[in-house]
Amino acid sequence: MSDYRVISGVTQALALAVQRAVSGPTSPVSHATVTTQRPDKPTENDHPRVNIYLFHAAPNANLRNLDVPTWSGEGLVQQPILALDLHYLLSFYGNEERAKLDGQLLMGLTLGALHAHPQLSPSAISEMMGDDTATSVQHPVMLTTETLSVHELSRLWQTFPQVPLVLSSAVRATSVLIAEPVQAPPVRTVKSRHFDLTQRPVQTADPAPSPLETSAAPEASEQPEGPSNPVGTVRFTDRFRALWGRR
């Protein structure tokens, strides 16, 4: 899986693809070059060139869940992967006289070539990263021309205060995968098994009685002396005794 160098590798591979498109044998613009720098102010006798500027990198919505590492009992199964979409601003410079229009010619050559070949191969990206083999980059990067309105394009150029608006277009490269190596902690294994069945269980305190439970009856030693009368105490008056004795 590719590492942190893949972003610069994609930029250089895109610049090489554009260079082949504008400097081919059928190109009407001679000695056209490709640069990868911040947009610059054009001069009166500006050399024909295409400038590629990476102005934004955003997480890919479809592959966003790849950044979750996967674990198993044996350790780390899948490394966390960051999926990015790279947004490039392509600016076209040259002689803009009526007989020349170098910028528009370069724009047609570039966008036509990217539409005909809308991907960067893993081998091309790995070569720009300095790898001898293509094992570091396993998936191609797709190139798509973005649809930016005049308002969005003008706001983008407003971030360069000293640079006037230049003939330009936006291209998106998706998806660029970055996987940094993660050191997984060692997995602890069970060395021995031992069960002690002779140990008594730990006694816990009695739970507090529920407020809904009725209190238990008092012990026999706590009960008052004398006959128990659930109704209450009966008092006999003298009149009652007299009436009771006449019977």
Average pLDDT over residues 113-117: 95
List the strands of the sheet with 49-59, edge to edge. Answer: 33-35, 49-59, 82-93, 168-178, 141-145, 119-120
Q: What mean pLDDT comes out for the span 173-191?
A: 76
pLDDT at 76 over 50: yes
Model confidence band, residue 134 (pLDDT cutoffs 50, 70, 90): very low
**Which has the minimum average pLDDT: 19-33, 51-65, 231-245?**
231-245
Q: What does the pLDDT read at residue 8?
A: 94
Evaluate if residue 168 carries a pLDDT over 90.
yes
Residue 145 confidence (pLDDT) above 50: yes
Question: How far from the centroid of its chain's Cα atoms is residue 192's Cα?
Answer: 41
- In the predicted model, what is the mean pLDDT of residues 34-48? 80
> Which of 51-65, 132-146, 181-195 is modeled with the greatest confidence?
51-65
Query: Lowest-pLDDT range, 163-167, 195-199, 243-247?
Result: 243-247
Mean pLDDT, range 110-121, rounded to an integer:
94
Q: How many CB atoms lie within 10 A of CB 91?
A: 23
pTM as predicted = 0.69
Q: Long-range contacts: 73-78, Cβ < 8 Å, 24+?
A: 73/187, 74/187, 75/184, 75/186, 75/187, 76/182, 76/184
Q: Is the pLDDT of residue 132 over 60?
A: no
- What does the chain look like in DSSP terms, one character per residue? ---TTHHHHHHHHHHHHHHHHHTSTT-SSTT-EEE-SS-----TTPPPEEEEEEEEEEE-STTGGGGS-EEETTEEEE---EEEEEEEEEEEES--STTT-HHHHHHHHHHHHHHHS-EE-HHHHHHHHT-SSSSS--S-EEEEE----HHHHHHHHTTSTTS---SEEEEEEEEEEE-----PPPPP---------SSPPPP-PPPPPPTTSPPPPPPGGGSPSS---SS------HHHHHHHHT-
Per-residue confidence band for 50, with pLDDT thresholds at 50, 70 and 90: very high
Tokens in use for 63? 């592959």
Share of the chain above pLDDT 90, in %: 34
**How confident is the prediction for the chain on average, in pLDDT?**
79
Whether 56 shows a pLDDT value over 90: the answer reads yes
Per-residue model confidence (pLDDT) at position 231: 53
Q: Is the pLDDT of residue 184 over 70?
A: no
pLDDT band at 185 (very low <50, low <70, confident <90, very high): low
Encoding tokens for residue 60?
Answer: 């890919």
